[in-house]
Amino acid sequence: MAVRVFLAAENFFRHLRAGLWVVGLVLAGAEAQVVPAVMTPSSAREEIAALRTEIARHDALYHRQAAPEISDGDYDALKRKLREWEQTFPEVAREVPVVAEVGDDRSGLFKTYRHRERMMSLEKAYTEAELRAFAARVAKATGRREVAFVVEPKFDGLAVSVTFEQGRLVRAVTRGNGVEGDDVTGHVLAITGLLRTLRVPEPGAGADVMPGVIEVRGEVYVPFAEFQRVNAEREAAGEVRFANPRNLAAGTLRQLDPAEVTRRGLAVVFYGIGACEPITAVPTTQRGLHGKIRAWGLPGVGEVWPGVGADALWRAVQAVEQARAGFAFPTDGAVVKVDELKWQRELGVGESAPRWAVAYKFAPERAETRLRAITLQVGRTGVLTPVAELEPVALAGSKVARATLHNRDEIARRDLRVGDFVYVEKAGEIIPALVGVNRARRPVEAVAFVFPTACPACGTALVQRTGEVAVRCPGAACPAQLRRRIEHFASKAGVDIEGLGPVMVEALVERGVVKELADLYRLRREDVAALGKNVSKSAERVLAAIETSKRAELARVLYGLGIPQVGAVAAKELARECGSLAAVVALGDAAAPAGASSAVRAAAAYFAEPRNRAVVAELVAVGLRPTVVDVEVGGRALAGKTFVLTGTLPTLSRAQATAKIEAAGGKVTGSVSARTDYVVAGTEAGVKREQARTLKVAVIDEAELLRMIAGK
C-alpha cells in the first residue's frame, strides 16, 4: 500500500513538473500556445506527435530551404518541450512515429556522399547552471577534479566536412543527416580562402607527419561586410534582402552555379576533424589542433579562450560574448570543448552529439514595442515588401523604428495586427527583425492587416507567380517601379548622376517629365526649373552630371540597367567578357552556350525580352555611349596582383580604394587566401589581418597602396 501511494505521488509530481514547465514556456515564449497544466497519456500522445511534426517542418525550412520561420530560441524551446514530454511519458513516446530525421540538410539537388566518420551536432546550453552541469558531468566521467576546456566562437553558417587525401582536397560534403550529406565540392572550391593542397608544416615535433586521409570539419559562412554588400545590391535591384548571413550562406551553397559562392563572398573556417589516418598526424589537444589547421594553410579560428574548471570555463564563455561585438563574422554562441583529444575519445558520443562538447547559446537582445502600422514598399521589379512601422525602441546600441516583414505570408503566419505589442531582435546582429507577438497584451482595438489586391502606387491588380512567395505589381507604367529604376540607374554604383536624388526623381516622375530611363537624357533646364525652388536650384549641376553619364563605364551601365542576378561584381565580369553594350544585348539572340558564366546566362535571358532591348535602344538613341575601361589607361602598376581590403582607411572609402586598384590593373577579393598578394588594413581591421599573418601575406596601409599605384 505504501509503495502504491509513493508511486502515485511521484507520478503526480512528475506530471505537475511537466505542466509547470509548459506554463513557464507559455509565459516566456513570444508565440507559445496555451496547453493543459497536467497531461494524460492520451493528450501526451497528441502533443508529442504534434511537436514532432512541427519540428520536422521547421527542420526542412531551416536545413533544406534556408528559410526559417522562427528564431533559433523558439525552435530550441520546441525541442526542449518535446524532450520534456518524451522523458515524462517514455512509453507513449516510443509508440508515436518519428516524422523525420532531425537536422537533415540534404537538399535533393546534389549527389550525396557518406562521411567516413559520423558528423554530429552539439547539445545546447542556455544558462550558467546548464554549462556548469556539463562541466560537472565531464569531470565525473573523467575522474578529474578540474578539466581543461577550450572555448571557441560559434560560427553561424552551414557545417561542412572537407576531405584531404595525401594532402589534396578531394571532397566537400554538408552535414546532411550526420551519416551522409550533399557533395558540394565544386562550391567549396570556389571559396577564395581555401587551399586545394595542404601546406607542409615547418619542421618540428610531429610536424613531419602528414595525414594520408583526413576529414576537416568546419563552417561555411558569410562575413558581415559581404552580407551587407550583397543585401545592398539586392535592395538596389528591387530584390528581397536575405534575413541573415546564415540564410545567405546556406542558400548560396544550394545554387547550382558555384560562381555565386565567389560572387557573394562566402568564407570557410575549420575547427575540428573527423576521420584521420594516421591519428598521430594531429596534436594531442584541441588548442594544438587549431594551430595545426593554420599550419596546413587552412582558415582557422583566430582566437580561443582556455579555461580549467567550471569557474574559469564560465569566465571564458563570458569573454567570448563580450568580444563578439568586434567579430567580422556572425556568431550566435560559444562552443565549449574538452581540450585533450584523449579525453574526447574516452568520453565518446551519445545518440546525436559528442559528450565532450556543448554549444552555449547567447541570448539574443530582444525588445518589446508597439506595431504602429504596416506599410508597403514597391521595388523596381514590382515586388511588394511589407515593413513594420514601430514605436522607436533601443536595441543593440541603436534606435529601431522599422523592421522588415519579408512578405505577405509572414504577416498571416504571425497573425500580426496593427496595435500589437511585438518582439524585435537584430537578425544576424544587423537587420532588425520582428520575431514574435505578445498576444497576452493584444489590445481590443488591434486591427488585422489586409494585404491589398491592387498596387498602392498605380492600382494595377497584384500577381503572385507560381512557386514564389513574393507578391508583385506587373504594371509597366507603375510610378513606384519607375522611381526605383531611375534611382538604381543613377546611383553611385550605376552611372553615378550626382544630385539626382529621391526627391528630384519623385518630382520628375510625378509631373510626367520622365516616363522611361531615356527621358533623363531629354531633360531641359526648364523641365528641372519647373519642379520648384528647392529642386531647381541644382538644375545646372544635375544636367551636367546627366550629360557626363552618357560616357559612363560599361560595367556601371550594365549594373544600372538592373539585370536580375547581375550585381556590381557580375557587371564587371560581363563587361570584360563582352566588351561592348551591343555585344551584351546580342546575348539575347540565342540561348547562352553551355559552360557560360551565370552573368552571361542572366544577360541572355534578360535581353531575350523585346522590351528590355527596347530600353537600351532608346538609351543609345539619346546618346548613351558606355566606355570600356582599359587597365592600360590607368597604368599596369598592380597588374596581376590580388588585394583584400579590411578596416576603415584614412581617406578612401572601400569603393574608392577598389576603383583605384582595378584601374591600376589589380583585383580586389573579399577573402584572404594563399593567392592574395596584399591585405590593405585600416583602423579596426579584424580577422582578415590575422589570416594574412597566418598565411604570410603582406599587410600594407593606405599610404603604401597609393605609392604602389603611383609606381613608387
pLDDT digits (tens, 9 = 90+) for 660-669: 888 787 888 7
User: Does residue 452 register a pLDDT over 70?
Assistant: yes
Residue 398 DSSP SS3? strand
- Write out pLDDT tens, residues 543-602: 999 999 999 999 999 999 999 888 877 888 888 888 899 999 999 998 877 778 788 888
Residue 39 pLDDT: 64
Give the helix ranges, DSSP H, for 444-524: 479-490, 502-510
Q: Decide which of 243 and 332 is more confident.
A: 332
Cell of 216: 576537416
The span from the CA of 395 to the CA of 389, in Å, is 15
Residue 68's pLDDT band (cuts 50, 70, 90): low
Backbone angles phi, psi at 367, to 5 degrees: -130, 150
User: Does residue 123 register a pLDDT over 70?
Assistant: yes
Q: Report the half-sphere exposure of 470 (CA within 13 A, side-chain side).
A: 16
DSSP collapsed to 3 states, 537-597? CCHHHHHHHHHHHHHCEHHHHHHHHCCCCCCHHHHHHHHHHHCCHHHHHHHHHCCCCCCCC
Q: Delineate the domains of the chain, giving CATH numbers in brackets.
A: 2-95 (1.10.287.610), 112-361 (3.30.470.30), 366-447 (2.40.50.140), 479-621 (1.10.150.20), 642-709 (3.40.50.10190)
Residue 31's pLDDT band (cuts 50, 70, 90): very low
Residue 654's pLDDT band (cuts 50, 70, 90): confident
Tell me which H or E stretch contains 667: strand 667-669
User: Please, are residues 495 and 562 in contact by the beta-carbon 8 Å criterion?
Assistant: no
User: Does residue 359 register a pLDDT over 90?
Assistant: yes
Share of the chain above pLDDT 90, in %: 39
Q: Which of 79, 81, 140, 154 is catalytic?
A: 154
What would the DSSP string read from start to end of 309-325? Answer: HHHHHHHHHHHHHHHGG
User: Please, are residues 328 and 687 in contact by the beta-carbon 8 Å criterion?
Assistant: yes
Which of 243-247, 442-446, 458-462, 541-545 is least confident?
243-247
Residue 526 pLDDT: 83
Residue 2 pLDDT: 40
The span from the CA of 709 to the CA of 712, in Å, is 8
Kindly give the pairing relationship between strand 642-646 and strand 447-448.
unpaired
Q: Report the half-sphere exposure of 599 (CA within 13 A, side-chain side).
A: 21
The span from the CA of 342 to the CA of 347, in Å, is 9
User: Does residue 89 register a pLDDT over 70?
Assistant: yes
Q: Decide which of 623 and 566 is more confident.
A: 623
- Write out pLDDT tens, residues 423-437: 988 755 567 888 889
Q: Report the half-sphere exposure of 433 (CA within 13 A, side-chain side).
A: 23
**Residue whose C-alpha is closest to residue 227's, from 211, 246, 210, 240:** 246
User: Does residue 542 register a pLDDT over 70?
Assistant: yes
Backbone angles phi, psi at 210, to 5 degrees: -100, 140
The span from the CA of 686 to the CA of 683, in Å, is 9
User: Please, are residues 681 and 649 in contact by the beta-carbon 8 Å criterion?
Assistant: no
Active site residue 426: no
Q: List Cα–Cα distances, 466 to 68, 470, 560, 625, in angstroms.
A: 20, 10, 28, 39
Residue 99 pLDDT: 57
Residue 366 pLDDT: 82
Q: What residues contact residue 251 under an 8 Å CB cut-off, 6+ apart?
A: 66, 242
- CB atoms under 10 Å from CB of 130, counted, come to 14
User: Does residue 259 register a pLDDT over 90?
Assistant: no
Residue 253's Cα: distance from chain center in Å? 11
Residue 671's Cα: distance from chain center in Å? 15
**Residue whose C-alpha is closest to residue 664's, from 682, 628, 640:** 640
Q: Average of pLDDT values for 395-406?
A: 81
DSSP class of 62: I
User: Does residue 15 register a pLDDT over 60?
Assistant: no
Residue 665 pLDDT: 79
| Angle of CA points 193, 195, 197, to nearest 5° | 175
Residue 286 pLDDT: 95
